Structure 1
Amino acid sequence: MTPAARLSAAIDLIATIDGQRIPAAKALKEWGTAHRYAGSGDRSAIAGLVWDVLRRRASSAFLMDDDSARARVLGMLRIERGLTTEAIAALCDGGRFAPEPLTDAEHAALSGRTLDAAPPHVAGDYPEWLDGALAEVFGDERVAEAAAMASRAPLDLRVNTLKGKPDKVLASLAHLGARATPWSPLGLRIELGADARNPGVQAEPDFIKGAIEVQDEGSQLAALLSAAKPGEQVIDLCAGAGGKTLALAAMMQGKGRLIATDSDKRQLAPIHERLSRAGVHNCDIRAPKGPADTLSDIHASADLVLVDAPCTGTGTWRRNPDAKWRMRPGALEIRLKDQAEVLARAAALVKPGGRIAYVTCSVLPAENGAQIKAFTAAHPDFAVTPPAEVAATLWDKAEAFLAATRTSSEGLLMTPRKTGTDGFFVSVLRKAAA
């Protein structure tokens, strides 16, 4: 397919997503099934266009003064991809499979309009109802922070030290353009261009033998900040597919007791194969079986409980831009209730002197600092460990890393703009010794 034909397909797909109100991933899958002539490069390029339009949905429509699918695609080319009006016009020449030529109004908008007069939620590309929450945490920087959250994310990998060493794996993946991540001592990063295909790391020998896992650097750092140690009893209370469970297991070096569980047993389905491939042998996976408590045998004896809390996922918008436009206020209220419940459950599992590591992939204050304030008020035997103290003993980049985060008396917040990671909040709470 020509670049112009790909552009036409993207316009049609955005119209389908709008008209049928379906998730972008589903629309892309259905399009690929119906257009089998399109090669993998075509599908990747079209998907990139669609995701970029969703990243810049509000600002592109504002730039064009038009909220149609075509207008948002054209506006995205100007804002996100930096194409000139002339370059966009060359793609829209009205030829076979190409979009129709630019109208006078489109040409004028692409050449003369800017985002200077756009309100914050438009310039930052986020739902207007979230403006107050983002202003609370970011203030006047919310547009810049939100714009970074709308940017394209790289592919981050974590080296599994049970199976490999960072320097050797880095050399092994040099052909993919891998480089060390800025903060995590175990992280590797592969930058992805606008039309980049999936680099297929699952087919790499290092992945097959369990030496690497796909994991955002922020998620790696959240696990590191929990400071799991060999010989401890550690519980991953919201383990899901096991990303942080695997990181904890490597930190424990196969020594001690690691328990992984989740309220939704369907989320745990991939964890068995992942743990096996990673060479983890000290993890007990506990899936819910009826109303009985899967952790009924744990009575205030855990050294560490990791609460990778269910949340709105606002910190992962750059990986899932479709989600931010589908998010509704009611979803936040449900998550806040879930978070409070899982924190209360964690409190009963921790031994005196033990700790809870509370983690969200959200930037919203209600899910982060406010939850910690409410928890410590209800559980005065727990106190927040200052972020500087949490990070100080972990690695030599701790001071610079802390300077890049937003720290508070409740914890620390990573953001794409400041740390180059997904948005993650981390708070480590220690229970008073007996």
Structure 2
Amino acid sequence: MRLGGRLAAAIEVLEDMERRHRPSADALKDWGLSHRFAGAGDRAAIGNIVYDALRRRRSAGWLLGDAAPRAWAFGGLILETGRTAAGINASLDGDRFAPSPLTEAEMAAIAARDLADAPEVVRADVPDWCVPLLETAFGEDWVEEARALAARPPLDMRANTLLATRDKVIGELAGAAPAAIAPDGIRIPPIEGDGRHPNVQVEPAFQKGWFEIQDEGSQIAARLTGAAPGMQVLDLCAGAGGKTLALAAMMDNRGQIFAHDSEKARLAPIFDRLKRAECRNVQVIANSTGLADLEGRMDLVLIDAPCTGSGTWRRRPDAKWRLTERQLDVRIAEQRSILDNAARYVKPGGSIAYVTCSVFPSENQDQVTAFLDRHPGFEAADHAALWAGMFPKHADKTRTGEHGVVLTPLRSGTDGFFFASMRRA
């Protein structure tokens, strides 16, 4: 397929998403199933246009003076790839599968507008209602922080030190290099142009359990928990088990990890992952009744809390535009309940590690402050000292405050994450 056909397909997918209010992954999958003639390269290029359009939806629409999916696709192509409007039109000429070219009015709008002069919310590429939350989180840097959340993401992996070293894994993967902060982290840079990340899950090294796909920020959060061999650990919101596996490696398969999630379906992938990674110190507890015997016994309770996922907007840009204030309120209530429940399992001297993949203070620092007010037997860790002790060469890579550590694409090059540790006296 030429650019015109790919662009037309991307617009079709975006219109389907908008009309049916569905996730991008579902819309792209359905398009691929109904257009089997499209090769893997074409599908990757179409996906790039769709995701770039969603990441840059606000600025792309502003550039063309329109708020329709067609404008997002054309505008995203211009903003992300550096193509000119005239160059795109020339590429569409003579392609019967292409969408209609940019009109004279659109060409004039593009020529007259400089994104540097756009309103802040447009340059940030976020919904209006998110602006106060980002201003509270990042102060005068909020636009730059939000823009970093609209960039293409890298592909991050964690070497499973139970079976392999990081260098050994890197030797098996083309284009891979050590991550900047996480000691076991591996990174393949963001894709450029029409390219795509390799399917690393078909690699023999993956099948042998040598590595897992995991954002570097998630790896850092697992490190900050301080999990060590011999500990008793409860992963209360284990999901598919990404952090569970990271903790098992940190503990060298010694001690015990109890993996639980309130929704059993989320736990389904964990069994194959544990087997492949050869994690032998993990017990999966599907029913909450099975947690009763753990009360007051845990050295560490990890809460990988359900959240808005605002820190993952690079990877899931459609979620940015589907998110509502009501959904945020629901998540905040869930987090509060989970934190209060977690306290019962912590033994004296033990701790809670609270993690989100959000950058909103109402899900992060505010939750920690409120929890400490409700539970005077707990106290916050010295997070500045914790970070300095664990990552002494990366003092400038995080926003560390009294009640937690914040990671962002702009500062740390990771997804957006929050980490807080609270110790029981």
- TM interval, shorter chain, is over 0.9
1:134-173 matched pairs, under 5 angstroms: 134-173=134-173
TM-score w.r.t. structure 2 length? 0.97
1:203 matched residue in structure 2: 202
- Does structure 1 retain, via aligned residues, the 8 Å contact 2:253–2:280? yes
1:373 Cα offset (Å):
0.3
- Does structure 1 retain, via aligned residues, the 8 Å contact 2:396–2:411? no
- For residues 290-339 of structure 1, the C-alpha deviation after alignment (integer angstroms, 9 at most, x for no partner) is xx533100121111111111100000000000101001111111111111
1:280 matched residue in structure 2: 279
Residues 1:91 and 2:55 aligned together = no
1:358 Cα offset (Å):
0.5
- For residues 82-120 of structure 1, the C-alpha deviation after alignment (integer angstroms, 9 at most, x for no partner) is 212332222232532122232111111222212244332
- Does structure 2 retain, via aligned residues, the 8 Å contact 1:138–1:145? yes
The separation in 1 between residues aligned to 2:399 and 2:361, in whole angstroms, is 12
1:373 matched residue in structure 2: 369
Residues 1:422 and 2:415 aligned together = yes
1:394-405 matched pairs, under 5 angstroms: 394=390, 398-405=391-398
- Does structure 1 retain, via aligned residues, the 8 Å contact 2:384–2:401? no
- Does structure 1 retain, via aligned residues, the 8 Å contact 2:399–2:407? yes
User: Which segment drifts farther, 12-21 or 267-276?
Assistant: 12-21
Give the AA of the match of 2:183: P
1:32 matched residue in structure 2: 32
1:390 Cα offset (Å):
1.7
- For residues 144-199 of structure 1, the C-alpha deviation after alignment (integer angstroms, 9 at most, x for no partner) is 111110111111000000010111111222xx200011001101111222422341
Residues 1:343 and 2:339 aligned together = yes
Residues 1:332 and 2:331 aligned together = no
1:14-33 matched pairs, under 5 angstroms: 14-33=14-33
1:290-305 matched pairs, under 5 angstroms: 293-305=289-301
2:231 matched residue in structure 1: 232
2:356 matched residue in structure 1: 360
1:431 Cα offset (Å):
1.0
Structure 2: give runs of 5+ residues left out of the alignment: none
1:58 matched residue in structure 2: 58
The separation in 2 between residues aligned to 1:295 and 1:22, in whole angstroms, is 36
- Does structure 2 retain, via aligned residues, the 8 Å contact 1:92–1:102? no
Structure 1: give runs of 5+ residues left out of the alignment: none
2:182 matched residue in structure 1: 184
1:35 Cα offset (Å):
0.7
The separation in 2 between residues aligned to 1:133 and 1:293, in whole angstroms, is 37
- For residues 51-93 of structure 1, the C-alpha deviation after alignment (integer angstroms, 9 at most, x for no partner) is 1101111111111111122222111122222212332222232
Give the AA of the match of 1:277: R
The separation in 1 between residues aligned to 2:334 and 2:193, in whole angstroms, is 37
The separation in 2 between residues aligned to 1:256 and 1:21, in whole angstroms, is 45
User: Which segment drifts farther, 118-127 or 308-317?
Assistant: 118-127
Residues 1:132 and 2:132 aligned together = yes
1:262 matched residue in structure 2: 261
1:11 Cα offset (Å):
1.8
- For residues 324-357 of structure 1, the C-alpha deviation after alignment (integer angstroms, 9 at most, x for no partner) is 1001111111111111111111111111111111
User: Which segment drifts farther, 3-12 or 153-162?
Assistant: 3-12
The one of 300, 306, 324 aligned to 2:302: 306
User: Which segment drifts farther, 293-302 or 244-253?
Assistant: 293-302
1:421 Cα offset (Å):
0.1
The separation in 2 between residues aligned to 1:250 and 1:95, in whole angstroms, is 53
After superposition, the Cα gap between the structure-2 partners of 1:88 and 1:293, relative to the gap in structure 1 and judged at 3 Å, is same
User: Which segment drifts farther, 193-202 or 147-156?
Assistant: 193-202
TM-score w.r.t. structure 1 length? 0.95
- Does structure 2 retain, via aligned residues, the 8 Å contact 1:14–1:69? yes
Give the AA of the match of 1:250: A
- Does structure 2 retain, via aligned residues, the 8 Å contact 1:218–1:422? yes
1:6 counterpart SS class? helix
- Does structure 2 retain, via aligned residues, the 8 Å contact 1:390–1:428? no
How many residue pairs end up in the alignment? Answer: 424
Residues 1:406 and 2:399 aligned together = yes
1:80 counterpart SS class? helix
